[in-house]
Amino acid sequence: MDNNRGLFDDLVKENPEESSIDRLFENLLSMKPIFSNREVLRPSYTPDYLPHRLDQINAVAEILVAALRGESPSNILIYGKTGTGKTATLESVSKKLMDLSDKMHIECKVLFINCERIDTQYRILAHLARHYNRDVPITGWPTDQVFNEFREALDKKEQIAIIILDEIDNLVKKSGDDILYNLSRINADLKKAKVSIIGISNDLTFTDYLDPRVKSSLGEEEIIFPPYNADQLRDILEQRSKMAFKDNTLEPAVIPLCAAFAAQEHGDARKALDLLRVSAELAERQRDTVVREEHVRKAREKIEIDRITEVVRTLPTQSKLVLFSIVQLDSTGSHELNTGDVYNVYRRLCRMIDMDVLTQRRVTDLISELDMLGIINAIVVSKGRYGRTKEIALSVPAESTRKVLLDDYRLRTLKDARPHFETQQRFNESQPG
């Protein structure tokens, strides 16, 4: 009997919690909504009209119109930084091309491949072959066999295949240019079908990694997508905001501020849209019915912390130790950290957790990599007859970075570690006796 009463008591305790959750959802749903369609602010959404990309849309269309005449369009390389509308432009033009080809009864297919996810020659060829209903295993076949399967399936009838390789620079850096060599020359082996290749790259220098023959055949046409400026970003945000938000939910300063912040980040429209969306989501969580300037500033900080968290979390252990050394030194209030200071602390931390100590030259390389990731700022300065060194400063919030680093089980024992300088000691040792 007593046991049953105890069980009943537990159930009674749980019910109020369930009721409070129900009430929480009811309260949230009863609030006046800010969004009418938040999905239009996500990178996956492609609007019917792309502001400030008419020149690029026309350039792509003028090349691809050859497919509607039954001809093979020239291969294209498209360059531009992240968030400059490259993928959205290709998706928009491709959709219109497919619609027109259907109306004109022309066999034309656009095959879109994201090379960040499908990143080897085998995977790309298998993906293409499966599109034409060939049963290719995930692994196990020789690459030549997979290529032949795709080629034979493609050449069954007269058709145009436009293969778009998004993030092509990732593919080349990881797997080389063999796949590009084979695809760019496939037309010579086809009797009925024709293939056109479009490569989309965030890196303007990626062709430096290509064989000259691949570079020549792949880059028959080149189109550059410049970064958006603040006024252009404002137009993009205005366009999306009309679809994304209820009336009178944005303060007038919100969109110009989002555009200004994103313009500082190399004119990245994705970042501008993310910033606007997160600003509105923060306003909702605070039970506000209007998005204000303060929400934008908080959202910018949150996005930056989230980005840093992801980058820092995926660093190799040795890079984490170097960064932790910099964070530790920064906590002392010193604003003039150099490579020697960082190396001394790094060496002591390695010994504390029984890690191999890298050479100072290798640690200098890791500092340069952290600089490239935007986590620190490292400037080479001359010390005259004492040589050159790097002056190092954190570019990210120290405390949040420290917390992410200590999430790594290998670094947790360093929680109470304290930095100590040997700078003065080195200086004294260098003086004549």
Q: Which residue has the higher pLDDT, 184 or 427?
A: 184
The string of pLDDT tens digits covering residues 285-341 is: 998 999 999 999 999 988 888 888 889 999 999 999 999 999 999 888 766 788 889
347, 306: one domain: no
374, 259: one domain: no
258, 323: one domain: no
- Total count of domains within the chain: 3
Q: Is the pLDDT of residue 138 over 70?
A: yes
- pLDDT value, residue 206: 83
377, 285: one domain: no
Residue 153 annotated as binding site: no
Q: What percent of the chain has pLDDT over 70?
A: 90
Residue 84 annotated as binding site: yes
Terminal C-alpha separation, the chain: 88
DSSP summary character for residue 43: T
Q: Is the pLDDT of residue 73 over 70?
A: yes
Give the pLDDT band (50/70/90) at residue 186.
Answer: very high
CATH number for 111? 3.40.50.300
- Does residue 432 fall inside a structural domain? no
Q: Are 89 and 233 in contact (CB under 8 A)?
A: no
Give the pLDDT band (50/70/90) at residue 419.
Answer: low
- Does residue 15 fall inside a structural domain? no
Residue 340 annotated as binding site: no
Continuous segment of H or E residues that includes residue 130: helix 121-131
115, 140: one domain: yes
- pLDDT value, residue 72: 92
- pLDDT value, residue 210: 87
Give mean pLDDT, residues 49-53: 95
344, 284: one domain: no
Question: For the whole prediction, is pTM greater than 0.85?
Answer: no
- pLDDT value, residue 418: 72
Residue 85 annotated as binding site: yes
Q: Is the pLDDT of residue 1 over 90?
A: no
- Other beta carbons less than 10 A from residue 381's beta carbon: 10
Residue 191 annotated as binding site: no
193, 247: one domain: no
> For 224, how many CA atoms within 13 A lie in the half-sphere containing its CB?
4
Residue 228 annotated as binding site: yes
Residue 388 annotated as binding site: no
- Does residue 77 fall inside a structural domain? yes
- pLDDT value, residue 265: 78
Q: Is the pLDDT of residue 39 over 60?
A: yes
**Residue range(s) defining the domain that contains residue 385:** 315-414
**Residue among 266, 277, 270 at smallest CA distance from 299:** 277
148, 182: one domain: yes
